[in-house]
Amino acid sequence: MEFKRATTLKGEIRVPGDKSISHRAVMFGALSEGTTEVTNFLKGADCLSTIDCFRRLGIEIENTPERILIHGRGLHGLQAPSQILDTGNSGTTTRLICGILCAQPFESTLNGDASIQTRPMKRIMLPLSQMGADITSLKGNGCAPLHIVGRPLHGIQYHSPVASAQVKSAILLAGLYADSETSVIEPALSRNHSEIMLNYFGATVTTEGTTATIQPNPVLTGQKVEVPGDISSATYFIAAALMIPDSEILIKNVGVNPTRDGILRVCKAMGADIILQNASFDKGEPTADLLVRSGKALRGTTIGGDLIPTLIDELPMIAVLACFAEGTTVIRDAQELKVKESNRIDIVVNNLKAMGADITATDDGMIIEGGQPLHGAVLDSYHDHRIAMSFAIAALAADGVTTIRNAECVNISYPTFYEDLDRLTRG
């Protein structure tokens, strides 16, 4: 797919529903009594993988243009799957579903695509095994395919070495079935959508600092969930509006949960003009409209520590944005980027170098010297949706033509991304 410089980005947009929240609505709805109705559900490939897995576990799910209806069967109502559960490209589906499957009275096998088969699963296998789970990596490499034999589980207190919502959520979901309470202590707070939504469905999850504790064996009840717009998807338009002169966009109804809003904090630290309007709060999840305008000179910044989990998926786009800022931007403590859909440190650095940027990879991030103009190049997304979207935006602020191979992978989290971008660049 080819991209050229854009002269403006103007208009109003609603980005699709939050991917993390959409996954969880299906999973928690499946484990609830009664029906869960989800509106603004993200119909990206990852969330469709979650729907497909729960259908194979005996849950009736209606997917209509307006809403998703999940006819839950309660905590103990899942049925043994007759086939392998295919989690596609989705790390969230793969890891969270393991927490549930470990406690079921049946065996299951799950697998995903080539990328999923390289992503580390030991991070969930270890704590789940401590709870009594029987979970095996069939190739013995700590990755999918995974085989699970359901077992009775024990509550644990787990000090996670990594700030990961997927690890935390897998353990909390297993904790629903344990014989006593289960706690997860993180080194820094990761996104807390599971804690918020589990409580909304009737579980008891308490949080203190970076510790989340769940009480076992609640009755979960189906609910209405209105999924807010995904701040990770909004990020591409935020960055584009800051990089392309003469831009002004209003992004409506974006989830601005403080465990996800690091992108806004970084943009402000860089001097960007972003205004939050119509702040609202729905069932524990804050939302706002984001007004973003070009025109302010951006300056480099340092991003690390506890901020990293709040913007981990936004770092490829932030690295591109940093090329348009005065001075140095340092991204550190972000080694998790290496184990996402692709190695997002290496690929961001190589692609940006190909476009003429002054960027260096480090062990846990990258260093960008802003101010070097970018030029078109032939790039690959490596089937990573966040790489494809970040470099489509980079191309709009670069000289010449940029070709992105395997650009269609945006369907993982934002199927209409190119159409929306096209509309906004027409002003």
Interacting residues toward ligand SPQ by CB under 6 A? 19-20, 46, 90-92, 164-166, 169, 190-191, 312-313, 336, 340-341, 386, 413
Is-contact 8 237, C-beta < 8 A? no
Residue 285 or 336 having the CB closest to ligand SPQ: 336
Residue 169 or 247 having the CB closest to ligand SPQ: 169
- Partners of 221 in beta bridges: 33
Q: Which of 18, 230, 261, 313 is catalytic?
A: 313
Q: Return the residue matching tokens 């109003």.
A: 12
User: Pairing mode, if any, of strands 157-159 and 182-185?
Assistant: parallel
333 catalytic per annotation: no
Residue 27 or 424 having the CB closest to ligand SPQ: 27
Helix, strand or coil, per DSSP, at residue 361: strand
Residue 394 CB, nearest approach to ligand SPQ (Å):
17
Shortest-Cβ-distance residue relative to ligand SPQ? 91
Residue 166 or 425 having the CB closest to ligand SPQ: 166
Sign of the Cα torsion 336, 339, 340, 345 reads positive
Residue 128 or 244 having the CB closest to ligand SPQ: 128
Residue 414 CB, nearest approach to ligand SPQ (Å):
10
Distance CA 291, CA 371 (A): 25
Residue 95 CB, nearest approach to ligand SPQ (Å):
7
Distance CA 30, CA 197 (A): 13
Q: Count helices and strands (H / E) in the chain.
A: 12, 23
Phi and psi angles of residue 270, each rounded to the nearest 5 degrees, phi first: -85, -5
Residue 195 or 341 having the CB closest to ligand SPQ: 341
Alpha-carbon dihedral 226, 88, 342, 195, rounded to 10 degrees? 40
63 CA to centre of own chain: 22
Give the total residue count for the chain. Answer: 427
Is-contact 91 85, C-beta < 8 A? no
Residue 159 or 296 having the CB closest to ligand SPQ: 159
Q: How deeply is 105 buried, as exposed, middle or buried, from its count of CB atoms within 10 A (0-12, 13-18, 19+)?
A: exposed
Residue 221 CB, nearest approach to ligand SPQ (Å):
23
Q: Return the residue matching tokens 């970084």.
A: 266
Residue 175 CB, nearest approach to ligand SPQ (Å):
16
Residue 369 CB, nearest approach to ligand SPQ (Å):
26
Is-contact 402 5, C-beta < 8 A? no
Distance CA 227, CA 47 (A): 13
Residue 162 CB, nearest approach to ligand SPQ (Å):
7
Catalytic positions are 313
